[in-house]
Amino acid sequence: MRRPAKRALYAAFLVGLLLLAGGTPLLWRWASFPSAIWTGEGSRLALLTSLEGRIDPGVPGRYTARLPLLPWFQAASRPVTVHVMPPLEVVPGGESVGVMLRAKGAVVQSLASFPDSPARAAGIRPGDVILAAGGRRLEGIGDLVRAVEGAGKAGRPLPLEIQRGPAVLTLEARPAKLDGQYRLGVWVRDSAAGVGTVTFYDPATGTVAALGHRVSDERGDPYPMRDGKFVTALVSGIQPSRQGEPGEKMGVFLDVQHPLAAIEANTAYGVFGRLAGRPPAKPAVPVAWEDQVHPGPAEMLTVVQGLRPEAFRVEIERVIHSDQPSARSFVLRVTDPRLLQATGGIVQGMSGSPVLQDGRLVGAVTHVFVRDPTRGYGVFAQWMLEQGGLVHGDEERSMVS
336 counts as catalytic: yes
Choosing from 117, 241, 329, 351, the catalytic residue is 351
Asked if 3 contacts 11 with a C-beta cutoff of 8 angstroms, the reply is: no
Q: How far apart are CA 269 and CA 380, in angstroms?
A: 9
The pairing of beta strand 261-267 with beta strand 207-210:
unpaired
What DSSP line would sit under 316-385, residue for residue? EEEE---SS--S--EEEEE--HHHHHHHSS--BT-TT-EEEETTEEEEEEEEEETTEEEEEEEEEHHHHH
Spatial neighbors of 311 by CB under 8 A, at least 6 apart, are 299, 300, 301
Q: How far apart are CA 345 and CA 239, in angstroms?
A: 11
Phi, psi torsion values for 59, nearest 5 degrees: -120, 110
291 counts as catalytic: no
Asked if 330 contacts 377 with a C-beta cutoff of 8 angstroms, the reply is: yes
Residue 159 three-state SS: strand
Choosing from 336, 358, 372, 394, the catalytic residue is 336
How buried is 381 (Cβ within 10 angstroms: 0-12 exposed, 13-18 middle, 19+ buried)? buried
Choosing from 213, 241, 291, 321, the catalytic residue is 213
Amino acid letter, 333: R
351 counts as catalytic: yes
How buried is 283 (Cβ within 10 angstroms: 0-12 exposed, 13-18 middle, 19+ buried)? exposed
Spatial neighbors of 21 by CB under 8 A, at least 6 apart, are none
Q: How many CB atoms lie within 10 A of CB 305?
A: 13
Q: How far apart are CA 62 and CA 337, in angstroms?
A: 43
Residues marked active site are found at 213, 336, 351
